Structures are given as structure tokens and as C-alpha cells.
Amino acid sequence: MRTPYSIRTLLFTTCALPIAAFAQMDYYIANSFGSRFNDINDSGTAISGGAYFDFATETWTLMEEEATEMVSINNAGEVAGSMFLDEELFILQPAYKKNGLWNPIGWFPGANPTESSFSTYSISQNGVWVTGQMSIGCCDFRTFRYNTETEVLTDVSSPDYVAVAGYVITNDGTIGGWADDEFMGSTRRIPVYITPELEIIQVSPELPEFNTNAVNDINASSLMVGDFDNQPFVYDLNTNTFTQFDVPVDYETATFTSVSNNGVAVGYAQRFGEFGSLLREAIVYHPALGAQPRFLKDVLLINGVDIDAPTDRMGTAYAISPNGEYVAGWDDQPPFSANGWVVYFDELLFDTFVGMNTAAGAGPFISVFPNPATEQVRITSSETITMVTIFNGQGQEVARHNVRDQAGVIDISALSSGVYTLRATSQDASHVVSVVKQ
């Protein structure tokens, strides 16, 4: 289960470690106890449990006094978190900030706050929806979906599942998370999404063997990421395609925690260290990067940015901004005490991927940006492209472009919305990548 760390007051020092970077790529790590980041938006505003951080100015601002925790922020600066229901008795409730004001969500009618619990997880990009998990009593766990416009709190549960959790919510009210179908005291969390009509749908083609699995994030093109049987996955709702990835060498499990609108997924690999401690390393994936996830620190090192971590591990990548330019997380320490960090890619991410594969001797490579796109995409290759051919979901050719260069702009404005396969042909080989037309 994703469990953000709650803190009411954080004392942030002004000392931080900004690291100079090649070109515009940059990396910042805080020097403050418990400053781990839970989310970040397109403006580079990140949130920890109890403070806002502005990447451009490297300044911290404590959260509003009426709030007790922040877990999710959208591009409008609207936040999901918690606030007091009864401060004297220290009883909390889910809450959200909109139009600069914090608002209570409350509890399910059947839930006694002194006997029940909740976790708020996500606010949609349009600010209409908030989701999380809430129990009725000690053990009856359900998902809640709250509409900030109608102020309706909806109990999302099913007789087919003993528990349901919502980790992310989209503009139309679709929820991603997990559902547990084990009724006899054991646990088997199945990665699911919940439709706007509240139908719970399994994304994996089969039931999991292990008990911790989830959809952790959904982007604007209905691309879902998470973990299934200890391996990261990407599920494309448009094509009903479920793709599972390998766990990096020397690690035991891995997950994708977040995905941007241009299809960049981030997360972490994990293994046990001495004395049972958990060791984590941040990972990043995009088809332009290769067939499998790579370590995020390698992307930085290619661009002259050394994270200079005492453990030589970057830790946990927890959130990527919708535009794919910022990644936020925390270093390789226990979450309650970890220092937060932010990576800024600007527009260099896909060029970096090309460079990494060329430098690694992986041969010719292509990248496409932006992805998803509405009018045009820019294709870049490590060798001269002679032809770009585009195919629809039925494998039919719908467009062809001559390029005769290592880069070119492809007009896709005439195509209908959907997922297409782009094939770039060079003198010696051809390479394919999926492109989402919005």
C-alpha cells in the first residue's frame, strides 16, 4: 500500500545541495529530516507531508495551518490531503485545497472516526475528484471518491472483494488501485481500475501469485503503471495491452509509481540489505529508452550530474510531473527520515535516452517527442532516417514521410485520436515506437 508519511510541522533548514548540471538538466536534494516528496506538478512545485517546495527558487513554504498532511498536487496548485475533524481529540478527516482554501471531505455515514481509518491519495488534474481509502470500523476497507463540485462522497466497494483501494483518479473519475479477493484472512491484491460508473476491472491478464499488486498511476492517455507479482508493468487501456518488465539485476522487486502524459514511467527497484533493511534505486522507462527500465542515476550521469549519494543509490522515484520534466522522490533512507530530491529534465530527456543507448553500444536509436501529441511529433535518431511510416491499430498504413536526416517533424494532425505505430527506417535497420494521437 502506498502510505505517505504525515507530518504537521517541519523545520526546514536553508541549506540544500543544488548540483550544477550539463545544459539544463538539474538535481536538487534537501538537507532536512523528513522532507521526502509525495508529488510534483508541471511548474516544479513539489509537496512533502507538511510543506511546499518551489524548484525554481529552491524555497520551502509550510503548508496552511488548517491542514495536517499533503499527498497530491495538480497543475492548478490544488492539493489533496487531510485536516482535523476534532483537533482536541486529534481526529482527522480527508480534505482538499481548492481556490486557496482547505475543505473537509468527511467520513462515510457508517464510519465512526474513532474506530475507523483513512488515507487520502490523489486529486485529479481538473480538481473535480479526490480519492483514497477509508474503513468502516477497523477492518472493512473501501475506496472513497469525492466530487469537489457536488460535494458527494461515494463509497466504492464490491461484494466480490474484501477490500478496495484507490491510489489515483483522473479527470473523468476513473480510479486506479487494487482490490483484494481473499476472504479467509489472507491477502491477494489485484491491480484494477474503477470506471466512472464504479465498475472494478482487473488489468492483468491473470490473477497474481503474490499479494501486493496495484495500479499506481494513470496518465491523460489512459496509460496505467504499477506492479504485478513484484515486477513493474504498463497497461494501455486503449489497446488492452499489458506489458510486464524485468526487475533490474541485483534487485528483488520493482514497481512503477508514476507516469507522465508523454509516457515516461518512474519508480524504484528494491532489495533487502543487511539486518533486513530495504534498499531502493530509482528507475525510469520509456520505449525510446529501451526494452527495459534503466536506473535514473544513469540518465543524470550521462549529463554530467552526479547524485553523490553516500550509498551510491538514488532511492525512491515517487512522482513525475504530467509534462515529464520533473521527477520527485527521496533518498535511500527510511521514508520517515528521508531527504526529498527533485530532478529537472527540461526538454533533454529523450535526447538523453538516445545518447545513453548510443554510448552503451546499443546501436541506432530513435526517440519521439512529444508523446502523446496533437499536431506534430519530432523524431530524432542516432543515424539518418530515410522513411517514417505510420500504422493504425489494425496494422494498416495511414501515412508515410520522407525524412533523409537524423531528425524531422512529422505532421499527425490529420490522424484520428488513438494509438499508432511509427516505424523509422534507416539504411541498415528499422525501429518502431508507439505514438498516442490525442
Q: What is the predicted pLDDT for the residue at 347?
A: 62
* Long-range contacts formed by 152-159: CB under 8 A, 24+ apart: 153/105, 153/106, 153/108, 154/198, 155/108, 156/194, 156/198, 156/200, 158/200
Dig out the grid coordinates for 334 from the structure. Answer: 527510511
Which pTM value belongs to this model? Answer: 0.78
Q: Are residues 81 and 21 in the same domain?
A: yes
DSSP string, 189-224: EEEEEE-TT--EEE-SSS--SSS--EEEEE-TT-EE
Flag whether 1 is in a domain.
no
Residues 254 and 232: their CA atoms lie apart, in Å, by: 6
pLDDT at 130 > cutoff 90: yes
The strand pairing partners of 122, in sequence order, are 131
The secondary structure element, H or E, covering residue 344 is strand 340-344
User: Which three-class secondary structure state does DSSP give residue 349?
Assistant: helix
Task: Say which range, 49-63, 137-151, 280-294, has the weakest mean pLDDT.
Answer: 280-294
Average pLDDT of 214-235?
Answer: 97
Is the separation of the CB atoms in 51 and 37 below 8 Å? Answer: no
Q: With bands split at pLDDT 50, 70 and 90, how would you rate the model's confidence at 176? A: very high
Q: Residue 15: what pLDDT?
A: 34
Pick the residue with more confidence: 2 or 6? 2
Is there a single domain that holds both residue 338 and residue 257? yes
167 assigned to some structural domain: yes
Instruction: Single out the residue in 295, 329, 354 at which a domain terminates.
Output: 354
Query: Which of 354, 382, 405 lies at the terminal end of a domain, its last residue?
Result: 354
Is 406 found in the same domain as 424? yes
Confidence grade of residue 291 (pLDDT, cut at 50, 70, 90): confident
Same domain, 95 and 162: yes
Q: Assess whether 394 and 280 both reside in one domain.
A: no
The alpha carbons of the chain give a radius of gyration, in whole angstroms, of: 22
| 295-308 confidence digits (pLDDT tens) | 998 877 766 677 77
Grid look-up 485545497 returns 97
Query: Average pLDDT in the 345-359 region?
Result: 56
Question: Quick one: cell of 126?
Answer: 481538473
Does residue 390 share a domain with residue 318?
Answer: no
> In which band, very low, low, confident or very high, does the pLDDT at 361 lie, cut at 50, 70 and 90?
very low
Which one has a higher pLDDT value, 376 or 44? 44
Rounded to 5 degrees, what angle do the CA atoms 193, 196, 198 make? 70
Residue with cell 524504484: 268
Could you tell me whether strands 129-136 and 223-228 are parallel, antiparallel, or unpaired per DSSP bridges? unpaired
Q: What integer pLDDT is reported at residue 393 of this predicted model?
A: 66
What is d(CA 95, CA 102) in angstroms, rounded to the nearest whole number? 7
Q: Which residues contact 101 (CB under 8 A, 6 or more apart)?
A: none
List the CATH number of the domain containing 414.
Answer: 2.60.40.1930
Residue 154 pLDDT class (50, 70, 90 cuts) = very high
The tally of domains found in the chain comes to 2
8-state DSSP, 438: -
- Cβ–Cβ contacts within 10 Å for residue 298, how many? 17
Pair 322, 386 in one domain: no
The identity of residue 159, as a single letter, is P
> Is 67 within the bounds of a domain?
yes
* Highest-confidence segment of 182-191, 292-301, 361-370: 182-191
**7: nearest Cα among 45, 75, 60, 43:** 60
For a pLDDT cut of 90, what percent of the chain falls above it? 58
Same domain, 327 and 433: no
C-alpha–C-alpha distance, residues 230 and 333, integer Å: 21
In a shared domain, residues 28 and 94: yes
Q: Is pLDDT above 80 for 371?
A: no
Residue 167 reports pLDDT greater than 60: yes
Tens digits of residue pLDDT in 62-98: 999 999 999 999 999 999 999 999 999 999 999 999 9
* Co-location of 73 and 187 in the same domain: yes
What is the rounded distance in angstroms from the CA atom of residue 53 to the CA atom of residue 18? 13
Choose the most confident range, by mean pLDDT, from 278-287, 306-315, 413-422: 278-287
What pLDDT does residue 2 have? Answer: 56
Give the pLDDT score at 394: 64
Residues 260 and 396 placed together within one structural domain of the fold = no
Q: What is the pLDDT of residue 353?
A: 54
Domain of residue 431 covers 364-437
The answer to whether residue 8 is domain-embedded is no
* Between 184 and 144, the higher pLDDT residue: 144
Mean pLDDT for all residues in the chain: 86
Instruction: Name the domain boundary from 354, 374, 407.
Output: 354
* Portion of the chain with pLDDT greater than 70, in percent: 87
Please indicate, yes or no, whether residues 233 and 293 belong to a single structural domain of this protein: yes
Q: How confident is the model at residue 7 (pLDDT cuts 50, 70, 90)?
A: very low
In a domain, 9, yes or no: no
